[in-house]
């Protein structure tokens, strides 16, 4: 493998994370970190998800997730319910407050990308979409688990 491709991918990653503010302590002018937002995304889109499924999907440390879920529960963003099939498993769902918080994050993310793309000519947006599709297709060959999802 050429050293230059490694450096170009790394440079792109630094460039893009800077554009969308992923290095900010809290994303999208919210009180959530990026990992917290990703967990909220999974719980929102997979009602009753198990903690193990979140760990597998996000490749997240079990202890880190456990602490995060405890904080979410204290803030009344989620509820936990023991599985009827396996008492060791807990189903996680968003409360109405949690859904509202996620929907605000999701809309802020949409607005952020919409505002960035609005600065580009339509033909650049079309080319960008084609290239993103190709990058996703190529990288999906090495993806572990689920496809990455937007927050």
- Strands, E assignment, 6-146: 49-50, 78-82, 90-94
Length of the chain: 151
pLDDT confidence of residue 151: 47
Say what the pTM is: 0.82
pLDDT confidence of residue 144: 56
- Scan for tokens 């079990």, then name that residue: 62
pLDDT tens track, the chain, 151 positions? 777 989 999 999 999 988 888 888 888 889 999 999 999 999 999 999 999 999 999 999 999 999 999 999 999 999 999 888 887 888 999 999 999 999 999 999 999 999 999 999 999 999 999 999 999 999 888 875 545 555 4
**Spatial CA neighbour of 44 closest among 36, 33, 56:** 36
* Chain centre to alpha carbon of residue 132: 17
Q: Which residues touch 73 (CB under 8 Å, ≥6 apart)?
A: 79, 80
Q: What structural domains does the chain harbor?
A: 26-139 (1.10.10.10)
pLDDT confidence of residue 86: 81
CB atoms within 10 A of CB 100: 12
CB-CB contact of 45 with 51 (8 Å): no
Tell me the backbone φ, ψ of residue 90, rounded to 5 degrees: -125, 130
The CA distances from residue 151 to 18, 100, 127, 140, in Å, are 16, 14, 23, 18
pLDDT confidence of residue 147: 52
pLDDT confidence of residue 57: 93
Q: Roughly what angle, to the nearest 10 degrees, separates helices 51-58 and 62-74? A: 120
CB-CB contact of 77 with 98 (8 Å): yes
């Amino acid at each position: 493998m050429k050293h230059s491709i490694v450096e170009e991918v790394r440079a792109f990653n630094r460039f893009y994370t800077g554009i969308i503010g992923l290095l900010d302590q809290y994303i999208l002018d919210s009180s959530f970190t990026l990992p917290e937002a990703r967990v909220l995304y999974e719980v929102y889109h997979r009602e009753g998800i198990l903690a193990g499924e979140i760990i597998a999907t996000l490749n997240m440390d079990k202890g880190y997730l456990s602490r995060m879920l405890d904080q979410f529960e204290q803030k009344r963003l989620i509820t936990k319910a023991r599985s009827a099939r396996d008492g060791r498993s807990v189903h996680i769902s968003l409360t109405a407050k949690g859904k509202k918080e996620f929907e605000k994050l999701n809309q802020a993310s949409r607005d952020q990308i919409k505002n960035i793309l609005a600065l580009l000519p339509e033909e650049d947006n079309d080319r960008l979409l084609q290239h993103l599709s190709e990058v996703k297709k190529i990288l999906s060959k090495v993806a572990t688990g689920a496809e990455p999802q937007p927050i």
